Amino acid sequence: MNSKPSLTNRVLVHGVLLFALAVFMFPVLWMFLTSFKDSNTEFNRFPPILFPAEWKVSNYTDALTDKGGLRAFGDSLVIATSTAVICTFFGAMTAYSLARFRTGGQDFAFWILSTRMFPPVASALPLFLIFRELRLLDTYSVLIVANTVFNLPFATWLLKGFIEDLPAELEESARVDGCSYFRAFLQITLPLITPGLVVTALFSFIFTWNEFMFALLLTRNKVQPITTVLPTLVGGHETLWGQIAALGMIAIIPGTLLALFLQRYIVRGLTLGAVKG
Amino acid sequence: MFLNLSYRLRRLAPIGLAVVVLFAFGALVVLAQDAPAPLDVVNFELCSDFGGVTVDVFGDAGHNLKPYEFWADDFAQMGITVNIVDAPFNDVYSRLQTEFIAQSGAFDVVTFYPAYIGDFAGNGYLMPLDEFMGREPAAVWDPVQDDVLAPFRELYNKFGGETYALTIDGDVLVMMYRQDLFDNPDEQAAFQAQYGHELRPPETWDEWLEVGEFFTRDAGEMLAGETLEQPFYGLGEYGQRGFSYAWYLNRFASSGGIYFDENMNPLINTPEAAAGLQNMVDALQYAPPGVLGYGYDQLRDAFIQGQVAMVVQWTDVPKKAGDPTQGSVIAGRVGVGRVPGTLVGDSVVHRSMMPVGRVVGIAADSDQPEAAYCIAKYIAYNRSLEDVSSSLTGLDPYRMTHLEHPEAYTMFESEDAARAYLEGLQVALADGFPEIFIPGAAAYNDALDLQVNRALAGEVSPQEALDAVAAEWNNITDSLGRDRQVELWRQALESYRALGLIQ
Amino acid sequence: MTVSTSAASTPFVSWAQRVFTPRRVVALAFVLPALVILLLITIYPLLYTLRLTVVQWELSNARAPIEFVGLNNFGRVLGDARFWNAMRNTGILIGVGVSLELVIGVGLALLLNQVVRFRSVLVALFLIPVLIAPVVSGYMFRLILHADVGPLNYLIYLITQGSSRGFGWLSDTHYALMSIMVTTIWQWTPFLMLIALAGLQSIPQEIIESALVDGAADWRIFWSIKLPLIFPVLSVGLLIRIMDTFKTFDLVYLLTSGGPGSATETVAYYTYLKGFRDFSMGYTAAMAFVQLVIIVIIARLILAMQKRQRREDYA
């Protein structure tokens, strides 16, 4: 805007934005407050109370130990990390091929993307039956594979954009110096797209961390990601709101950190690289 | 490759997190469960030491898994660690069915609602228990099934004559009401003036509506001589998807209904059936606004927190309503009676559904069936009185032993009150109406529940809803094989008759 | 692979030399791992599902045989009123919900575009909902929408000065689907906001300035300059939102289980019930395929729209 906006205009803009922000933050805030309330005495109250009389940290310790939150946190960590590593590495290779050699042309690239459009139920059904035959249900590997289905196409597209942004001359000059394609890829390309790799890995991590349906259907006992532990706190007989909120607060840590510290790449990550932001 | 990596990571994770666990441990000790005191009313011996095995127990999340915590020391003596895997209340069937089909060996002991016994035992997912039950010495192995009330033994535990499960929770519905309101002279007079007859706990479903209407008041109006700060409602219903069908079936059964005829033709959409559903739809106007979201806990809380005058509920709710430490504001003001009935000819027929209930079975692919059986038998027999008489659980009496020891139910203000509770429960059991137990029960119930719920939500009329149920039931029967279903249904009818549950 | 250079130049070798140039071999080598993975975990399951669509297989009944039924399953899906009800609910979530996300998102982006200081802090805070697990956001809204003790109903109680105690947001047929929609709007509006903001910031300042010189009104600048310019990026965001909304499962599972009645059953939730509760394998596979077709059509439509828009821009 070249003309300086009037003061009233600026106040109005900021006012509306702050109001909207308050609306968008309120659910998080409310869950935060609930996570310190006593499920029995402070939840079933009308009018609802804003602050707990006593900040019950025991909701957190309870949810983590008694209710298996800690184990679930570990399980989610293993699954999300493995998926992120696999997707980023193989995604980078594929992306390199697509970007530098135009392998398979536009159609192949679109086809890879379209696998992300699968309704998850449609993938869950055959994966369930196949992994049943392999006797691999209820293991880390089944969830890693299932999440890779969705994140590999995403990683490929995202990284393809990063590689395309990179001038090809750099690799070519390395090739002239006698580097093999693979070495050029490893030593020149990958270091130069480090931000891209980090962003891809983090997004694959978050998407896997947040995933629910596969976790629900493909695991039950030996592996229990955090998203499947939350619903078990809603018994038919009592709902442990304090602990649900506590575990919920813990579950949103990775996503919140990403939002706060990686804002620069979020647009790109969320749009599969289509919008550079 | 990544398989190895992740497994290694998994093994490392506990070590890495040990510090956190150490800190958390302090909290754990503080939270050590209070458990009911051992009463030692039955004789039992523990199984001999298994030398450190883990038994995976599946069950619906919440207070009904508490017994596994209460008696962990005894399990330790048998060399067994119990690992609990829980699922949301409405998910028991789908989670178990998924595992049984997957056969991943995730569970040893499975807790489920006995309506599914036909599905699970009929498909060979459960291990027959008769061999374990007959072993010597009896004090170790015999769950004393003769002590279990007949319906909870014959319908809950058996399929095709063999025992596949042991009962741990015997469920039947009762009516609960605010005795103080019905006893209030002003209210009695007002009711007499308005309806021309005496105020009393409803005997029939028509009276249920009448009393419901009478006690529904806005904030600011008077109730039993006090000004209401918040609105008050005449009644509550179970409106949530999942088990709302049972609240409808109370009405259906009392009007003489039975699910199918001898040839598996649905009888669910008769005019009497539709009238029953209409009654439930009509009742909603005297219930709190969120009633279609009411499951067990919301319905319980609405009653024990004094928001509604009457509810039909499971028999553990009077225990909670009598116990101020469980959040009850109406302790000592609760009446328990028969579920309302329907006037057939000139007598009122009462029918109480026996929905849910819990049994434990052993997964056919369990790799330690013996240890699993020891756990199942322990919960079903050894300490069952302690478990059902505690307000820490939601388990309900199902053995003669449970009915013969009113002194165990210490949450009641007196032994007489406990005795009255147990007698009321026996009356309800005498009115008991069985669920469907043949294979496909889960599907039949789900189809019924969906349509009942649609009618309650006003999406379709009661008759339309029930016609849709009949059509869907026929589909289910056909897909399971009509001939076999007919045969199993006839057997079921026979056992219902033998137990005196139907004429 | 094609090492022999001079001697045996049979037709095959020369063909192979032409096709498998070193460059192409390398290209293939790079794409191979991902290709194998994708084939194994997407194409194989896809074919597996396709095969299932032509059988009747009731996995919940161990005795039931697997029968070939041709296209019968598809016929049943198309005639299934519950499926269409689920489609309708999903359609409402997309049509109304995503539209509102778009409108609110673009509105917020326009406002944010005028903010200079602390913009990145504001954006970061707005973005938190986007990266929260839907399971958790489901519980956040169960707390907020709670009929008896939720803060929303308390607000209504305060505003109406006690004459209304609010609504059964998740249990009333009239509001349940709306409540799920509100949850998705809360979670995903910032996503579209962010994309719109990125688009707005990439508009060259000169274009707007020259329009201002011409005396164009604010709304006119927005409508005929900004919006067309951000449309291509916005449409990508829309496409992603439409596809993801089509898959709405978590929130239904957590908030309403499809109830009351079938008021909130989405197509993904219904498919889950048929697949992992009833275990009707063939029928579920057919339903999944119908959804896949619909999703692909939507994706194609939006991409075509995007292309046309681009052409118009250059024209």
Span A10-19, pLDDT tens digits: 889 999 999 9
One domain for residues C249 and C278: yes
Q: Name the helix (H) or strand (E) containing B82.
A: strand B80-87
Say what percent of chain C tops pLDDT 90: 38
For C33, the closest of A93, A145, A259 (CB atoms) is A93
Tell whether C252 is covered by a domain.
Answer: yes
When mean pLDDT is compared across A136-145, A216-225, C163-172, the lowest value belongs to C163-172
Quote the mean pLDDT of chain A: 85
Q: How far is CA B31 from the centre of its chain?
A: 28
What is residue B216's three-state secondary structure? Answer: coil
With beta carbons under 8 A apart, name residues in chain B contacting A135. 104
What strands lie across the sheet with B233-236, from one edge to the other? Answer: B233-236, B308-314, B173-178, B334-337
Residue in this structure with the two tokens 């409106």, named with its chain if needed: B239
Q: Is C259 on the interface with B (CB under 8 A)?
A: yes
CB-CB: which of A28, A181, A255 is closest to C140?
A: A28
Q: Which helix or strand (DSSP H or E) is residue C155 part of?
A: helix C151-159
d(CA B24, CA A66) in angstroms, rounded, equals 10
Provide the pLDDT for residue A272: 65
Q: What are phi and psi of C64, to 5 degrees?
A: -70, 135
Same-domain check for residues C35 and C149? no
pLDDT of res. C311: 66
CA Rg value for chain C? 26
What pTM does this model have?
A: 0.89
Query: Is residue C234 pLDDT above 50, yes or no?
Result: yes
Per-residue model confidence (pLDDT) at position A112: 72
State the smallest CA–CA distance between residue B98 and chain C in angstroms: 6
Q: Inform me whether the C-beta atom of residue A163 falls under 8 Å from chain C C-beta atoms.
A: no
Single out the residue of B362, B371, B365, B370 nearest to residue B80, CA to CA: B371
The total of other beta-carbon atoms located within 10 Å of residue A166's CB is 16
Class in CATH terms, B173-353+412-503: alpha beta
Q: CA dist C258 to B196, C25, C278, Å?
A: 43, 52, 16
CA neighbor of A228 nearest in space, from C250, C276, B337: C250
**Contact assignment for C262 to B230 by CB distance below 8 Å:** no
| Amino acid B44: pLDDT | 93
The C-alpha of B481 sits at a distance from chain C's nearest C-alpha, in angstroms, of: 8
Tokens of A192: 């130069």
Supply the pLDDT for residue A236: 65
Residues 6+ apart with CB under 8 A from B174: B312, B313, B314, B315, B318, B336, B337, B338, B339, B352, B424, B425, B428
The verdict on residue C74 lying in a domain is no
From the CA of C202, how many Å to the nearest CA of chain A?
A: 8
Q: Which fold has domain B37-170+355-411?
A: D-Maltodextrin-Binding Protein; domain 2 (3.40.190)
Chains that touch C (3 or more CB pairs under 8 A): A, B
Token pair for residue A60?
Answer: 């957190």
Whether residue C88 sits in one domain with residue C49: no
| CATH number, domain containing residue C94 | 1.10.3720.10
Q: For residue B193, give every residue at least 6 positions away whose Cβ sits within 8 Å of its Cβ, in sequence order, or none.
A: none
- Residue B12 is predicted with a pLDDT of 41
Asked if the Cβ–Cβ distance from C260 to B456 is below 8 Å, we say yes
Contact residues of A toward B, CB < 8 A = 40-41, 44, 46, 58, 61-62, 64-66, 70, 74-75, 77-79, 81-82, 85-86, 128, 132, 135, 137-141, 144, 217, 220-222, 224, 231-239
Q: How confident is the model at residue C154 (pLDDT cuts 50, 70, 90)?
A: very high
pLDDT-derived band at A4, boundaries 50, 70, 90: low
Per-residue pLDDT band for A274 (boundaries 50, 70, 90) equals: low
The answer on C95 and C52 residing in a single domain is no
Q: How far is A246 from chain C (nearest CA, A)?
A: 10
Mutation target for C interface from A132, A203, A270: give the one with most C CBs within 10 A.
A270
Q: Most confidently modeled of A91-95, B70-74, C3-7, C218-222?
A: B70-74
SS3 B409: coil
Q: Which tens digit of pLDDT belongs to each residue from C60-91?
A: 887 778 889 989 999 999 999 999 999 999 99
The CA distance from B162 to B144, in Å, is: 15
pLDDT at C2: 41
What is the total count of domains within chain C? 2
Q: How many CA atoms lie within 13 A of B23 on its CB side?
A: 9
Q: What is the pLDDT of residues A185-197, one digit of tens each?
A: 888 888 888 888 9
For C138, the 3-state DSSP assignment is helix
Q: Does C279 touch chain B (CB under 8 A)?
A: yes
Selecting from B13, B101, B301 the residue whose C-beta is nearest the C-beta of A78 gives B13
Residues C60 and C192 in one domain: no
Contact of B439 with B483, CB cutoff 8 Å: no
- Note whether B403 and B443 are within 8 A (CB): no
Quick one: pLDDT at residue A94? Answer: 86
Chain B within 8 Å of C58 (Cβ-Cβ)? yes
C1 pLDDT exceeds 70? Answer: no
Considering only CB atoms, B85 lies closest to which of A139, A220, A233, namely A220
Q: What ranges make up the beta strands (E) of B275-416?
A: 308-314, 334-337, 341-344, 347-350, 352-353, 358-362
The SS3 of residue B220 is coil
Closest CA to C30 of A98, A132, B349, B220: A98
User: Span C290-306, mean pLDDT?
Assistant: 80
Closest by Cα among C137, C134, C117, C113 to C193? C113
> B390 with B322: CB under 8 angstroms?
no
Same domain for C191 and C244? yes
pLDDT greater at residue A85 or residue B24: A85
Buried residues in B402-425 as b, exposed as e (16+ CB within 10 A): bbebbebbebbeeeebbebbbebb
Question: What gap in Å lies between CA A234 and CA A211, rounded to an integer?
Answer: 19
How far is the C-alpha of A79 from the C-alpha of B365, rounded, in Å? 27
Q: Which is nearest to B424 in space by CA: B349, B496, B352, B502? A: B352
Q: Are C292 and C300 in contact (CB under 8 A)?
A: no
Each domain of chain B, given as residue ranges in start order, spans 37-170+355-411, 173-353+412-503
> Tell me, what amino acid is at A248?
G
Segment C95-109, tens digit of pLDDT: 999 999 999 999 999
Predicted pLDDT at B11: 42
What is the distance between the terminal CA atoms of chain A, rounded to a whole angstrom?
20
Here the tokens at position C174 are 């009239």
All domains of chain A, ordered by start, with CATH?
A: 60-270 (1.10.3720.10)
Query: Binning pLDDT at 50, 70 and 90, where does residue C187 land?
Result: very high
Same domain (yes/no): C21, C88: no
Quote the mean pLDDT of chain C: 85
Interface contact B481-C61, CB threshold 8 A: yes
Collect all residues of chain A within an 8 Å Cβ-Cβ radius of residue C62.
none
Q: Is residue C1 part of a domain?
A: no
C129 part of contact set with chain A, CB < 8 Å: yes
Q: Do C87 and C149 belong together in one domain?
A: yes
The answer to whether B105 touches B365, Cβ cutoff 8 Å, is yes
Q: Are residues C16 and C148 in the same domain?
A: no
Is there a single domain that holds both residue C55 and residue C192? Answer: no
Q: What is the DSSP string of B11-79?
A: HHHHHHTHHHHHHHHHHHHHT----PPP---S---PPPP-SSEEEEEEEESSGGGHHHHHTHHHHHHTT
Domain that holds residue C181: 80-314
Tokens of B24: 């958390």
For B187-256, where are the E strands, in sequence order?
222-223, 226-227, 233-236
pLDDT digits (tens, 9 = 90+) for A141-174: 999 988 988 888 888 888 888 888 888 888 888 8
Q: Which residues in B54-87 are b (16+ Cβ under 10 Å) and which e?
A: ebbbbbbbbbbbbbbebbeebbeebbbebebbbb
Residue C108 near residue C193, CB atoms below 8 Å: yes
pLDDT on residue A233:
84
Q: How many alpha carbons lie under 13 Å from residue B27 in its C-beta half-sphere?
A: 17
Distances (CA, A) of B369 to A177, A275, B8, B55, B144: 68, 57, 29, 9, 19
**pLDDT higher than threshold 80 for residue A268:** no
- Distance in Å, alpha carbon of C112 to nearest chain A alpha carbon: 7
Please check whether residue C3 lies inside any domain of the structure: no
Tokens of A145: 């594979």
DSSP, res C222 = I
Rounded distance between C-alpha atoms, residue B421 and residue B337, angstroms: 10
Q: Are C195 and C236 in contact (CB under 8 A)?
A: yes
Contact C275 A145 (CB under 8 A): no
pLDDT of res. B229: 85
Q: What residue has token string 């880390």? A: A140
| Interchain contact C74–A (C-beta under 8 A) | no
Whether residue C97 is found in the same domain as residue C214:
yes
Q: Does any domain span residue C75? A: no
| Chain C residue nearest residue B89, CA to CA | C257
Q: How many CB atoms lie within 10 A of CB A192?
A: 17
**C2 domain-assigned:** no
The answer to whether B452 and B246 are in contact (CB under 8 A) is no
Residues of chain B with pLDDT under 70: 1-33
Beta strands in B88-217 (DSSP E): 109-112, 158-159, 162-163, 165-169, 173-178
Task: Provide the shortest C-alpha distance from residue B6 to chain A (in Å).
Answer: 6
Residue C47 lies in a domain: yes
Q: Beta-carbon neighbour count of residue A184 at 10 Å?
A: 21
Task: Give the model's pLDDT for residue C216.
Answer: 81
Contact C261 B290 (CB under 8 A): no
The SS3 of residue B163 is: strand
Does residue C36 lie in a domain region?
yes
Residues C229, C161: one domain?
yes
Tens digit of pLDDT for each residue in A18-39?
A: 999 999 999 999 999 999 998 7
Query: So what's the pLDDT on residue B30?
Result: 37
What DSSP string runs through A55-72? --THHHHHHHTTT-HHHH
User: Of B241, B472, B476, which to mutate for an interface test with C (greatest number of C Cβ within 10 Å)?
Assistant: B241
**Nearest alpha-carbon partner for B429 in B241, B196, B148, B160:** B148
Residue written as token pair 């679930």: A72
Residue B469 Cα, gap to closest chain A Cα (Å) = 26
Structural tokens at position A185: 């890829």
Per DSSP, the three-state class of C49 is: helix
Q: How far is B11 from chain A (nearest CA, A)?
A: 10
Residue of A1, A248, A271 with shortest CB distance to C139: A248
